[in-house]
Amino acid sequence: MPNKYKDHSKAAKDVSLGSTDSYKFTIKNNAADGTEVETSQEIKHAGSVLTKLSLKFKKCCGMRLESFETSSNGAVKGVVGYQGAAPGVDVSFGAERKESGANSVFVKGSYNQDLVNLNGSVDLLAKSLDVDAMVAYQAFLVGGKASLAQSDKSILQGFSGVVGFNWDAVNRATFEVNNEKKYSFATYVKPASDMQVSVMAGSQMAEKPAAIDVTLAGCFDLDNNGTSLTSTLNANARNLKDSVKFGLAYSQKLRSFAELTLSGEIELGGSNNTAFGAELNLGDL
């Protein structure tokens, strides 16, 4: 079965550094009834502190409370889901109060069966509709996404499409383009069991001159117990003098219940030349 449209390049994006602009502490627990409880506190270098609580409830057929999220900045989100409304069909509805921007009351539906993954979302307050679909056949995949809303100019707010190719089970390359003439390419390769490599590139052709952002990333397992080293290189191919960033992250499982990630980045040029962050995860990892 294909992934959701938003996840077509997830594997490539996951080869990345941890936080470089904050210190983050997270506790994860799985309750006896299958509920996943996650609390976190993030301290930004700029001085702000954000505390979050997330509850994800065990999936089961029929109606259930799906998730609940809240944070110290006033954001709140609750979702009720109905799984198995029909073969391959799940439905959910909920409400969200955002820190900034418009609040939302929404209804979502998804269909995932055989070759097709179809998703739709209606926002009752914004009077908008988002739909996306992915179709996979053998090693190939193709998908599209569209956003519609009431507007004085056009009901069609935006659209995009993606084509991709898989090989050797885990490797994937994708190419995406949208109505704003933004192009992006992503590839994920696992050349060995202890190595992951990704290449991502994007360009906004509507801008003159068009910037070409390129990111190379690699993750290398140092042992079989969760210790890894990740390196990244990011640059604008049209302005290498002031845009090159080199990053390095080290992750280690200190105990079965504790994992630490240290991330740093150096910018060659620009005003903010260095950045450093840390993440500590405790609980059911």
Full-model pTM: 0.85
Instruction: Tell me the CA distances in angstroms from 21 to 37, 55, 178, 213, 236, one per residue in order.
Output: 25, 26, 30, 21, 21
Q: pLDDT at position 108, please?
A: 96
Q: pLDDT at position 185, please?
A: 95
Rounded distance between C-alpha atoms, residue 53 and residue 49, angstroms: 14
Residue with tokens 């302005």: 239
Interval 209-265: pLDDT, tens: 777 899 999 999 999 888 999 999 998 877 777 678 999 999 999 988 999 999 999
**In this structure, what token pair is assigned to residue 95?**
């409400």
Q: pLDDT at position 140, please?
A: 93
Interval 179-202: pLDDT, tens: 988 999 999 999 999 999 999 999
pLDDT beneath 50, residues of the chain: none
Here the contacts of 99-104 (C-beta below 8 Å, separation 24 or greater) are: 99/71, 99/73, 99/74, 99/75, 102/126
- Going 268 to 270 to 272 to 275, the CA torsion angle's sign is negative
Q: pLDDT at position 212, please?
A: 86
Q: pLDDT at position 150, please?
A: 83
Q: Which stretch of DSSP H or E encloses residue 12?
A: helix 10-14
Q: pLDDT at position 120, please?
A: 96
